[in-house]
Chain A
Amino acid sequence: MPIPEVLRAKWFWYSLLCVFLMGGWTIFSKIASSEISAPTMQFLYPFGWVPVAVACLWTRGFRLEKSPRGILYGIAVGVLGGIGGLAFFAAYRTGGNTSAISAATGMYPLITVVLAVLILREKLTWLHVVGLLFAAAAFLLFSL
């Protein structure tokens, strides 16, 4: 039986690895945020990232590419991620159900898909449109 092309793509395996790591992240976040406030959690966050950043720098011989645009986008991701993270921890602190919060906030790709189509000109198939409708239904269910 031929192996589906997607299973041979590196991006697929990296994405799968991301799924499992992020799943663990939500559990640890919930445990920690039951005691620590949202701003303090977000304050501590960069310190938890430092070992990974140092490892990344090490693999690159402690040199970054000189692309001002790329660096600017990267830093913007950090700032937006930080603001989103603050809201994420705050949501957990309200005492809401972890599964519901994780799943509701997990709908952020809807925004990315729309922006990717509008700005990056990535194609949206009819299956994507059905997917967007399912995501909207999911978000409504989580809010009930």
Chain B
Amino acid sequence: MHIPIWFWMAIIVLLTWGIAGLFQKLATNHLSAESTTVCLVIGFFLLCPWLYPQESLWMYSTRALLFSLLSALLNALGAWAMLKAMRHGGKASIVVPFTALYPIVTFFLSPAVLHEPVSLLQAAGVLCGLIAVVLLST
């Protein structure tokens, strides 16, 4: 059976972000959402030496660079909102699954914005995922 590469990448995402979800709650037990956001950026910058691009950044289009920074900006705001939810008493086992509802936004936006087709299996997967998120948030 052929398992696509993106599946293995997704496993790494699941593990790292899954553990990060726990640490977010532990951090907000001691810090404000704002201070935790600052610490997150420090953590991101710690990885930069290993990620320093081999190629010049100017070889990319302005559009791609702009979208990259915009996506990071939205991600930062989303993370801040999640930390704020935890700081306001949200449990990690509720807030983290709840905020994972974001694929529904992607699911509806990607055919319109990116012109990507959505298969029935993916739709079923999204449906199962959403039911899971709702049940986990109950």
Interface residues of A (CB under 8 A from B): 9-12, 14-15, 17-37, 39-53, 56-57, 59-60, 64-65, 67, 69-71, 73-84, 86-88, 90-92, 94, 96-117, 119-120, 122, 124-125, 127-128, 130-135, 137-139, 141-144
Contacts and interface: CB of A to CB of B under 8 A. Distances in A.
Given A43-B52, A57-B38, A88 B13 contact: yes
A133 B101 CA distance: 16
Interface residues of B, number: 114
Given A14-B84, A22-B102, A26-B106, A84 B138 contact: no
Contacts of B6: 91-92, 94, 96, 100-101, 104
A131 B23 contact: no
Contacts, number: 469
Contacts of B48: 43, 46
Contacts of A39: 51, 53
B107 A99 contact: yes
A-side interface mostly: helix
Given A46-B41, A100-B122, A100-B125, A109 B75 contact: no
A14 to B, nearest CB: 4
A75 B51 CA distance: 17
A135 B18 CA distance: 14
Interface in B54-76: 55, 57, 60-61, 64-65, 67-76
Contacts of B7: 104, 142-143
A62 B81 CA distance: 19
B135 A130 contact: yes
